[in-house]
Structure 1
Amino acid sequence: MGGVDLSDKSLELYDPDIRSNKMWKRVLFNLLLRVISSLETAQTKLSKSIDDKSNHHAFTAGISSSNSDWTGDTLVFPVVIYSEGTGYNPSTGIFTAPSAGTYVFYVSVQSASRKYIYLDIVMNGSSKVRALAYYGGGSRVHINQTGTNLVILHLQTGDRVWVKRYKGIGYVSGDIPITTFSGFKLN
């Protein structure tokens, strides 16, 4: 039993009469078994809580077609590429924090040909970072620019994060999304 000596010889060190008391030895043995069982149960629960995926939240979503004339407010990313846990709503484009913690969000946008677009990552109505896909003009060549940005935010349960247009017009995407929005919980 893991180095615990329950022989009569070890017990007689404490009390020479204990050898004759088999019941005491049995009580002590059962008590040790219960302690070991409790420790194993606690270890299992701790391991399970560490591995519990209910607190893992991550997503990547994109857009499957271009819209060179888009001038909306919230950019909705309806194509879910990856999702673990809960939080991202592909119908609204909004991530709602299911639990408090530190999260990372990333946006990538490609401007429509010879146009520019600014997109903000917004938390509860407040812009946090801006991605800019800017075309400077002057070229007859169809040029698309890509803008990206990343932000780390501490969210409380129920906080909302989304992507909105600051200014500009249009974006490019395709069957394999080019314009995307991602987020995941660090802890």
Structure 2
Amino acid sequence: MDRAEVLLIGGRSGVGKSTVGWEVSARLRAVPVSHAIIEGDFMGQVHPAPEGDPHRSEITERNLTAVWANFARLGHRRLVYTNTASVLPGATGMFVRAMGADVRIVRVLLTATDVTAEARLTGRELGSELRQEIEGSARKARMLDARAVAGTVRVTTDGRSVIDIAGEVVAATGWV
């Protein structure tokens, strides 16, 4: 396979993007399906934001491009990428520029109720930003639901095991 493919796993805070992403990777390794995985949230974590890049989108794209180039040099053609907003229309260009004009993009939006997300965040966020995370998660859930690219596969995570969720996500890729 010469064409690059990317699985974008998006969703609100507390929905399980990282956990599902790593379980997807475990399932792909077991088959085995060659792939790389990137936690997109780490691609732009610089504070303060670079001058002229208040949303850190430029540094995120530059880092994605560099990391993907390294993976591609090793022969990888499939990427699992987790990030809240990765399923929004504005993210498409970043993946086309970083991975090539003919990249195949599969978008999955993980969903959870406010109650489920708050419970998960309460268990995870031990620092000073819990309330901010809960409020931001609810806002992002509504925005993602309204603005996700047409054709995005929606996968509910409430009351489901990560193994079951990852199975549905992997099925959406057609990689197995």
TM (norm. structure 1) is: 0.25
Question: Greater RCO between the two (CA within 8 Å, min separation 6)?
Answer: 2
Higher strand share: 1
Task: Considering fraction of residues, name the structure with more helix.
Answer: 2
